[in-house]
Structure 1
Amino acid sequence: MTDYAEITYRVADRIATITLNRPQARNGYTVRMSDELADAFGRADADEDVRVVVLTGEGKDFSVGADLSQGGFDFDQNGPDTAWQEPAGRVSKRVFQLNKPVIAAIKGAAIGGGITITLSADYRLAATDSRFGFVFVRRGIYPEGASAWFLPRLVGMGRAMDWMVSGRVFDAQEAHSAGLVHSLHEPDKVLDAAYELAADLAANTAPVSVAVTRQLLYRMSGMDSPLPVHEVDSKLIASIMSNPDAAEGVLSFLQKRPPKFTLSPNNDLPEFLPWVKG
C-alpha cells in the first residue's frame, strides 16, 4: 500500500512524517485510516533512510476519535471470540513494535482513538490549545488501543482511573502536569518542535541502541524482579566489545564530531534479546 486516501506519508532528512488527512472531518478515525497508518508505520520501520517518525494531523485538530458516519467498523460477524482486532489497537500495537522512535505532534482535539493511538509513541508534544479525553464511558463503550495498559504506565493508576472512569475532557496543562505530554507549544510551533527533537535524535543517537532501549523499557520494565533485566543488560554490555557503534560513539565524543553510526535495526539487533526472533 503506497497510495493513501486518509493519511499522507513523506520522508525528508531521515524523518518520516505521517499525517492524518481528513481535516474536513476533524481527522475522524476510520478503519481505512487505521489500516493506512499501520501500513505507513511498517513502511517507515523497514526504510533504512528513516531514523525517526513524526505523527501529526492536518487542520486544526489531531483527531476527534472514531468517525462512524461511514458505516462503522469492520466488525467480525462471527462474534466476540474471533481474532478480530479493533482499529486503534492495530496502530498502537504497530507503534509499540517499532524499532524507531515516534513523536506525536498534537494540536486541537485528541479524543478517544485520537489519543489512544499516540500512547505507544515515545514522545507526545502538544499545543497549548489541545484537549484530551478518554470519553468511552460517556458513549457506553470501552477503552481501546490497549490504552488500559499504556495509560497507567504514563500517568499512574490514579490519574488513569480518573480520566477513564469519568470520561471527562481535560486541557493541555492538565495533560502536561500529569506526564501524558512531554512539552507544550503554541499551536503554530508544535510541529516545528517535533521536527527539532526528531533532528536531534536522528543526528546524535545510534539506531540499534534506540531500538533496544525502547523495547527494554516497554517489555521489561514491568517484570516482577530486576534480575531477568540484569541478565539481558549483562549480555548487551558484554557485546559492546564487538560493536562498531560503541566504538564510534566513544571516538566521536573524544574527537568532538557528530557520530556516524552504521548498525541497522533491520539487520543488527542482538539475537539473544528475548523479543528478537532468530
Structure 2
Amino acid sequence: MSAVYQRIRFGVEGGVATLALDNPAKRNAFDPAMRVEMAEVVRQVQSDPSIRALVLTGAGAHFCSGGDLANIASSGLDNGGWRQRLTSLHDWLKDLMLLDKPVVAAVDGAAYGAGFSLALAADFIVASTRARFAMSFIRMGVVPDCAAFYTLPRVVGVQRARELMLSGREVSAQEALRLGIATELVEPDALQARAQAIARSFVGASPVALSLIKRSLSLAASDLPSLLEQEANAQALAMGTPEHREAVRCFLEKKPLPFQWPQA
C-alpha cells in the first residue's frame, strides 16, 4: 500500500508505515506543503488499525535541516500570521507525539532546528554514525519550536537542554548516544533496515498495552497520585486483553512470546 505526495513519501508494508521527508535538494527542509502532507499522513496512521508502528525518516543523505529559510523569508507573515502557522503545525505534531503506536525515527545526516525537534517527537531515534543534531534556532535569532521545550529537557535534563538551545552547537552521533538522544547508532547503510526491524517487532506486541504505556509516559511529569491512578487504570485494561492472555499462555508453555525485541 502506498501513496504519492509532493513533499513526502509514504507507504505501508506488513503493518509498518514509513514516512520519509522528500525534499533532498534542501536537505528535507520543512515548508508549508510538507506540513500539510505530514498532517494528513499522521491522521491516517492514527486511524488505521492495521498500522502498528511508524518509521519517520528523510530521503537522501539527511533527515531534516529545519525550516525552509527561503520560504520563511518570502512569506510576508506578521506576528499574528506566524503564530497561526505555528498553531496549525502544533495540531498535527501533538497528534504525532500522542500517537498510540510506536514511532521510530531513522536519522542520517543533518537533524537541525525543527528537524532535531521532529526526531525528538519519536519514541526511538536510531541514528547513523554520520548523523548530527543541532538546536540551531538561536543562530537565526529565533526560539526552538516543534515542541522542543517539552521534549529535549525530558531527554537530556534541563541544564543540558539549556546549553544546547543557547549555544546552538552541533552534537555528533556519538555524543547524541551518550546524552540519550539516540537510542542506538548503526552504520549508514544499515540504518533503514534497523529502523524497520524495530518497527516490525511491534506488530507482535499488544496494541492496547503500547497505547497505555505511551499515554502513561506522557503524564510522567505529573504528580505521583495522578500517575499511580493512571497506572492502575491502564494495567486493569491491559490485563483483560487477548494479547496478554496469549503472552501468558506462550510463557507457561515455554514458547516464544509474540513480542520480541530484534537483536542489533
TM norm structure 2: 0.89
- Judge conservation of contact 2:208–2:241 (CA < 8 Å) in 1: no
For the residue of structure 1 that corresponds to 2:93, the secondary structure is helix
- Judge conservation of contact 2:28–2:65 (CA < 8 Å) in 1: yes
The one of 210, 225, 228 aligned to 1:227:
225
Report the residue type matching 2:214 in the other structure: R
Query: For 1:34-113, what aligned pairs fall within 5 Å after superposition?
Result: 34-70=35-71, 72=73, 79=80, 83-85=84-86, 89-113=90-114
> Structure 2 vs 1, CA of residues 58 and 257 (structure 1 numbering), >3 Å: closer, same or farther?
same
Partner of 1:125: 126
Aligned mates of 2:210, 2:20 — CA distance in 1: 23
- Judge conservation of contact 2:119–2:125 (CA < 8 Å) in 1: yes
Moved more, 23-32 or 81-90: 81-90
Aligned mates of 1:75, 1:124 — CA distance in 2: 35
Aligned mates of 1:144, 1:17 — CA distance in 2: 24
TM norm structure 1: 0.84
Establish whether residue 155 from structure 1 lines up as the match of residue 130 from structure 2.
no
Deviation at 1:13, TM superposition (A): 1.1
Superposed CA offset, 1:184-220 (max 9, x none): 11111111110111121222x10111011011001x2
For the residue of structure 1 that corresponds to 2:67, the secondary structure is coil
Deviation at 1:41, TM superposition (A): 1.5
Report the residue type matching 1:210 in the other structure: L
Establish whether residue 217 from structure 1 lines up as the match of residue 180 from structure 2.
no
- C-alpha RMSD of the superposition: 2.3
Count of aligned pairs:
256
The structure in which a higher percent of residues are helix is 2
Query: For 1:19-34, what aligned pairs fall within 5 Å after superposition?
Result: 19-34=20-35
Superposed CA offset, 1:52-104 (max 9, x none): 10011111111111113235586865727965435764553221121111000
- Judge conservation of contact 1:91–1:145 (CA < 8 Å) in 2: no
Report the residue type matching 2:233 in the other structure: K
- Judge conservation of contact 1:8–1:20 (CA < 8 Å) in 2: yes
For the residue of structure 2 that corresponds to 1:129, the secondary structure is coil
Q: Which runs of 5+ in 2 are unaligned?
A: 260-264
Aligned mates of 1:208, 1:74 — CA distance in 2: 43
Moved more, 241-250 or 124-133: 241-250
Establish whether residue 237 from structure 1 lines up as the match of residue 235 from structure 2.
yes
- Judge conservation of contact 1:92–1:116 (CA < 8 Å) in 2: no
Report the residue type matching 1:208 in the other structure: V
Report the residue type matching 1:180 in the other structure: I
> Structure 2 vs 1, CA of residues 104 and 91 (structure 1 numbering), >3 Å: closer, same or farther?
farther
